[in-house]
Amino acid sequence: MATRATPQASVVQVGNTFRELKPYLVPRTPDGQCDFEVRVPKDYYVSPFSPVDLDFHFRFHLPDEKLRVFIDDYDAEGNVLISTLTGRRKEMTFANLLGFTVRFPFITLKVIGLIHWQAFRLWLKRVPFFRKEARAEDQRGVFRPHKSLQK
């Protein structure tokens, strides 16, 4: 009987609208509160409403019947953004994939639209805007996939 290996780390890959990617290594936690957790400097341009010099705090569990992912942003004064992703496990069958396609045919367009709507609302509130070029030297470990992998 084969034994199941326990992952000791996970890689979180964060992307931005410039088709850039940055991987973050998230080690397994010894205490068991979360399966994986790390707080690291962001050093990456993700959003024009988010400065480069924040920390990412990644926390998540091995997926079981539920998916639970938490990614928070911190500055020197504390937490500035809380992000949570949850979901229920579904078996990957042709019928389920077809059902999702029928139920959510334009989910990508909806997400893009909602991102832009929230950006517009932040702009109306006069939230500071950070240009990528202004802090290009502060971005570390960023790469672009080979052109053959980009669509």
Residue 150 lies in a domain: no
Quote the pLDDT of residue 73.
95
pLDDT of residue 123: 92
SS3 of residue 17 by DSSP: coil
Asked if residue 46 belongs to a domain, the reply is yes
Calpha distance 33→9 (Å, rounded): 15
Number of domains in the chain: 1
Residue 4 forms part of a structural domain: no
Query: What's residue 151's pLDDT?
Result: 54
Q: How many of the other CB atoms lie within 10 Å of CB of 86? A: 9
Is the pTM higher than 0.85? The answer reads: no
Task: With respect to residue 132, please indicate whether it lies within any of the assigned structural domains.
Answer: yes
Residue 66 within any structural domain of the chain? yes
State the residue range of the domain holding 14: 9-144
Name the token pair of 151: 């669509």
Residues in the chain where the model's pLDDT stays below 50: none
pLDDT at 148: 59
On whether residue 63 sits in a domain, the answer given is: yes
Is 1 part of a structural domain of the chain?
no
- Is residue 151 in some structural domain? no
- Give dist(CA 116, CA 127) in Å, integer: 14
- Alpha carbons 34 and 36: distance in angstroms, whole number: 5
